Chains A and B, each alone.
Chain A
């Protein structure tokens, strides 16, 4: 219990003091996971929409792969991305291993299926007669998709929150492809693991609390957007 209280105390202290190392780690976490979420949205929402609206052979197979991907073990993603980016790997020449960009890629790979899966469900649960109605009012394919996204905006926001949650909470892949290098690739999760392994439970607690607070604040902002203008 003492550890918990000390951790809380230290967390407040670190936040109040704006400890430069902690601020830097926090900002990097936000940057890496934010970028990864953005990329996962750019990939996942169109993929989910295409799967919801499209009729093509093998669609069910792709849907089952996406659904499996929603529970993709981060360590496996980390291993795969690491192998690809390894200096002797297929993309080794890009020199991305142990950089924040490598972490962005790994986290986006983890978040994209989550976003795609939730988007697929979101678009699919819209009334199919809405498509007929919109086409019957003269919508092009592109306009149809934009209006469907508008109608499903709350569910798509949930997709973004789920994707962000998957990205920011992930540690295994970030560790493997980022390397937890001080001042370069250390983020809140990897720092927490490190401090715990060193026995610095109070600092680990502090970092953990900051992580929770950060995840909460970002989700709160998205929830606020999601619920605004809601009636009935």
Chain B
């Protein structure tokens, strides 16, 4: 792993005598996209404000490339850029908005305009340059807001739920473009979201924040497949994460090779039901991550014949683990790949689920979350 750009040590933020954020150690590495996920009120925005140098932690230190950042440090703030959930555009032209940060840095107007036009172009909104920012749609405004941050070519980009106020098709399109730009520029990014699919899509690593505590920090596969604790597991929900490659596409369905098995998914299974605008469909040869929620997997006795069913994915397998969690059981089945199902105690009894038991697992093609990488 490369050198940390930003590191937090023993950071604590208190509000009204209550601790709202506690981060013993967190490093953001050069060129990575760190997704911070957690439910509303988990302290995600507070963490981002601390990272932006806009909120002083009551205790702990923030270091940027090894140097301690003091709260409100202007020099530091001019090396980073922040994008909020609401675009917060000024009542001025789009171009004036996008050159704002450069003018804060005392760039000559002509030079700033040149660079701003380039970024408006890359975000597909160059035609709006001379429009009043007040007349933009939500998606256009967020694109302008992203251009306003990216034009600074920041050493660290901080994104606070930039897509959550957008409708699904707009969000999917913007997410696609942002993913491309971040990959191209290798901008070190911290991306806060409550949406796991967005986090899986953009994040090289995922930090899970619950109740102001950093509960897990790992690559997406491990966060989802091996949650640090029950609360993280309950939040991330999607316990089966598989890496695969699309080997065939026909009749609107894609076959994804996962381990020794082939999983069937609809080619349009993007990250979310995408409304009227179709998500770019899967293509043969593309690498994908598949996510399956344990509640979408059904188990049947191993003797059951593999009859045709509406559940397109049916595999024979063997139980490798049965773990009680709350009032339910999480059952891991090796069926060419590890698959987690959640079942009731009664099912555990009736199916005699225990390690080594032969079972048939089934899940619908539409239950598979496809995350294009």
Contact = CB atoms under 8 A, between A and B. Distances in A.
Contact of A151 (B52, B91, B104): B91
A76 interface: no
Contact of B152 (A129, A134, A138, A140): A138
A132 interface: yes
Contacts of B135: 231-232
Contacts of A231: 132, 134-135
Contacts of A150: 90-92
B86 interface: yes
Interface stretch (B77-85, B242-250, B324-332): B77-85
Interface in A134-190: 134-140, 143, 147, 150-151
Contacts of A136: 52, 54, 77, 80-82, 84, 158
Centre residue among A129, A132, A140 by max chain B CB count within 10 A: A132
Contacts of A151: 90-91
Interface in A82-140: 127, 129-130, 132-140
Given A132-B52, A138-B105, A151-B91, 14 more contacts: A129-B84, A133-B84, A133-B88, A135-B52, A136-B54, A136-B77, A136-B80, A136-B82, A136-B158, A137-B149, A150-B90, A229-B132, A231-B132, A231-B134
Contacts of B134: 231-232
A150 B90 CA distance: 9
Contacts of B91: 150-151
A3 to B, nearest CB: 49
Nearest 3 pairs between A and B by C-beta? A136-B82, A138-B78, A133-B88
Nearest to B89: A133
Of A135, A143, A151, chain B has the most CB atoms within 10 Å of the CB of A135
Contacts of B84: 129, 132-133, 136
B100 interface: yes
Given A136-B52, A137-B82, A137-B100, A127 B77 contact: no
A68 to B, nearest CB: 32
Nearest to B135: A231
A121 to B, nearest CB: 17
Interface string B73-110: 01001101110101010111000000011001100000
Contacts of B101: 137-138
Interface residues of A, number: 19
Contacts of A229: 132
A232 B132 CA distance: 10
A135 B78 contact: no
B149 A138 contact: no
Contacts of B78: 138
A139 B52 contact: no
Contacts of A232: 134-135
B49 interface: yes
Contacts of A129: 84, 86, 88
Given A138-B104, A138-B105, A132 B82 contact: yes
A150 B97 CA distance: 12
A132 to B, nearest CB: 6
B205 interface: no
B148 interface: yes
B194 to A, nearest CB: 18
Interface in A23-62: none
Contacts of A135: 52, 54, 72, 77
A137 B132 contact: no
A129 B160 CA distance: 12
Contacts of A134: 100
B52 A137 contact: no
> Which of A132, A136, A143 counts the most B-chain CB atoms under 10 A from its CB?
A136
A180 B115 CA distance: 61
A143 B82 CA distance: 17
A142 to B, nearest CB: 10
A133 B90 CA distance: 11
B148 A137 contact: yes
Interface string B45-59: 000010010100000
Task: Among A130, A135, A137, A150, find the residue whose CB has the most chain B CB atoms closer than 10 A.
Answer: A137
